[in-house]
Chains A and B, each alone.
Chain A
Amino acid sequence: MKRGLAFILAVFLLIGMLAGCSGEQKADAGKKTQDGKVVVDFWTFWGSETRRPIIEKIIEDYNNSQDKVFVKHTFLPWGDIWTKNLASVAAGNPADVIINDINTVSQRAENKQVEELSKYIDDSFKQQFYPHLWDTVEYEGKAYAVPFNTDTRLLFYNKKAFKEAGLDPEKPPATWAELEEYAKKLDVKNGKQYDRVGFYPLWGSVGASSWMTNADSGKGFIDNGELAINTPKKVEALEWILGWKERLGENTVQAFQAEFGSEQANPFIAEKVAMWVDVGTFYTQLRDYGQDLEFGVAPLPEYEEGAGNWAEGGGFVAEIPKGAKNPEEAMDFIKYLTGPEAQKYWAVKNYDNVANIEAAEATIEELKGPDKMVYEATVKNLEQTKMFPVPVEYPDYHSRINPQIDNALLGKTTPEKALEKAENDVEKMKKK
């Protein structure tokens, strides 16, 4: 019996040792190529047919441009990349560069999941990027990431439908009141059924929160650390959305929504919906699948004249996970990745909004025709685009607000009560 135990212990030790050795070997070797270049492991979630070749071309260009560093691209699926990154940071063996969410940089900075970058960065570097994007990567005055790409929301409208309805196709709705007025004219009804819906505020790449901040002069749910959830304008916005739902009827909304798809099945492309809010890249679907569609783009209508056409934005940053082995080489690559050349290539090929101002403007120059028209509109719209980074005191605050908005939109409570409860709930979760 005792010998049995001893034997098992021996087996344990053996296995432990084997595991230990193999781990260490991996960490030391494999970080350099055969010709002595430092290997920078770069994690992205861009594995699609369109995006993968583009990012890999950028990496290849960088690798060919110098002889010290070799960037190795590792694709991780969207659902896995953050958890894997977290686990590898905790284990002390993370990637050297990773693409991560732009709105949660300060969370990661606070929790020591990313390297601080100040020592690699000066003012002239910082000034390459749109200020509203740069703001998101700073936490307590220090930079922890570099913005890579972003998006913004525009109103796409069907010009042919405008003409049919007797509206001026060169004059898109500028205010909420006009939006409503135009939408009613653009509705096409067949008895009780709708053949075409003029507009519905929750369709497309937009949610209730976008309209609430649009109404509230671009003020998010948390404004400079103060809660601004239960404000009169936000209540009004929620009531306004409910009004649309009541007018069209729950059944119409659901029936339309059930048919929604992308490409040819996109309701705006299929001309089932005449006005539609979406991000700039939506244009590529219009270009490829909506040849017969005559469309225009405009900023989101403003709550009232002079209130501002505020839109919500998102995006991604490049950052160095805490504990990365080659931060200097990693930063060198990040500088290339967010520099004018790579950013322009990404912008032109992906039709995506990039963070680098020079690259965005060069992209406008290069594009032609409708490509240029829409891209220019998105770039211009960045001026009225707000980012809503998650403050460290209120991680996950959306989880307290969204269910209340759901309840209000489902008629289980009034907008006023819903937002009051949401504000209370968020207040309670505040971290000291």
Chain B
Amino acid sequence: MKSSESTLAHREAGTNIIPERKSTNAAVKKKGLSRKAKDNLAGYLFISPWIIGFLGLTLGPLLFSLAASFTDYNITSKMNFIGLENYKRMFTMDDLFRTSLYNTIYYVIFSVPLTTAGAILLAVLLNQKVKGMKFFRTIYYLPAILSGVAVYFLWMQLLSPSTGLVNTMLGWFGIEGPAWLFDPEWTKPALLLMKMWSVGGGMLLYLASLQGVSSQMYEAADIEGATAWQKFYHITLPMISPIIFFDVITSTIGSFQIFQEAYVMTENGSGGPGNSLLFYNLHMWNNAFEVFDMGYASAMAWLLFIIVMILTVLNMKLGKRWVHYEGGDGK
């Protein structure tokens, strides 16, 4: 558990940490630096770009924003300590804060299960031994390599109410498609639809882990007369549960941070019709860079951090009940 958890954490942070090396020729005493110290030095030297980057570009601003969240900092002229005023304002005076939190939670609640289930389903399908499978795998993975903004513009055209491909196809079946990005009730489903299209990235993770599931277990299950569903539920799912766990945590964090989609796909980045796409981060961005209320925006950022932190801890706790680590004792 311990080691796999820490690799997960590193992967999540996108960092490369050189695994701690166990010095085999222990303590050969020489003049100057000992072998161990040299090793350490080399190690620190190798990770120094990351350390410098972390201290200068992440930790520094991070602490600054924490301090700023207790002030009325507006970038250019003010930075007075105002205590918890910013935090109070979120809950008492800012209606858009509530709207944005609601929109974001709505999005997280639907997008995390849908994309996770979608990716698993796709991975299981693409793990069959059928001719031309490589071709299908490529096709389904393709959307994941296309980059953000271009994809959003593509989907804005696909989702165009009267001329878009989506509604045109619905029309063939006699269904009158909704106005998607123009109808507040349909804007979030429209984004979810778009997200489903690019589950290929998650699919790849699952596919890799599915291929690591030993075929012996399936053979044993076959002998016992298990059905396909029983095999999936009792063998496949537990065996890939560490990856599911990883995916759920990272995609929950990612979904809370949804911003680009709303910024690009709504008029002037305003948050869409009736504020239906005003997500937490978009509201925060508007406060920071449209009205220069950087102190308030910092407070919003820290509140989001707390929310995500709580959810992640909760996930970690609940994870113990259903995540199965091979070779471990479940701790």
A residues neighboring B (CB under 8 Å)? 1, 3-5, 7-8, 11-12, 15, 82-83, 86, 89-90, 107, 110-113, 251, 254-255, 258-259, 322, 395-396, 399-400, 402-403, 406-407, 410, 412, 425, 428-429
Contacts and interface: CB of A to CB of B under 8 A. Distances in A.
27 contacts: A3-B33, A4-B40, A7-B44, A7-B45, A82-B289, A83-B289, A86-B76, A86-B289, A86-B292, A89-B75, A89-B76, A90-B76, A111-B75, A111-B76, A112-B76, A113-B77, A113-B292, A254-B182, A258-B161, A396-B291, A399-B271, A399-B286, A400-B96, A403-B274, A403-B278, A407-B274, A410-B273
B189 interface: no
A90 B184 CA distance: 38
Secondary structure of the B contact surface, majority rule: loop
Interface of B: 33, 37, 40-41, 44-45, 48, 51-52, 74-78, 93-96, 160-163, 179, 182-184, 270-271, 273-275, 278, 286-287, 289-293
B76 A403 contact: no
Nearest to B176: A251
B300 to A, nearest CB: 14
Which 5 pairs between the two chains have the least Cβ-Cβ distance?
Answer: A112-B77, A395-B291, A403-B275, A4-B41, A396-B291
A429 B273 contact: no
Nearest to A409: B273
A152 B94 CA distance: 34
Contacts of B179: 254
Nearest to B32: A3
Contact of B37 (A4, A322, A428): A4
B93 A402 contact: no
Contact of B40 (A1, A89, A407): A1
Contacts of B286: 396, 399
B96 A406 contact: no
Contacts of B273: 403, 406, 410
Nearest to A90: B75
Contact of B162 (A86, A258, A406, A425): A258
A323 to B, nearest CB: 9
A429 B275 contact: no
A4 B162 contact: no
Nearest to A421: B95
B162 to A, nearest CB: 5
Query: Which residue, of A1, A396, A403, has the highest number of chain B Cβ atoms within 10 A?
Result: A403
Contact of B76 (A82, A322, A396): A322
A425 B95 contact: yes
Given A4-B41, A89-B75, 7 more contacts: A3-B37, A7-B41, A8-B48, A251-B162, A403-B274, A403-B278, A406-B184
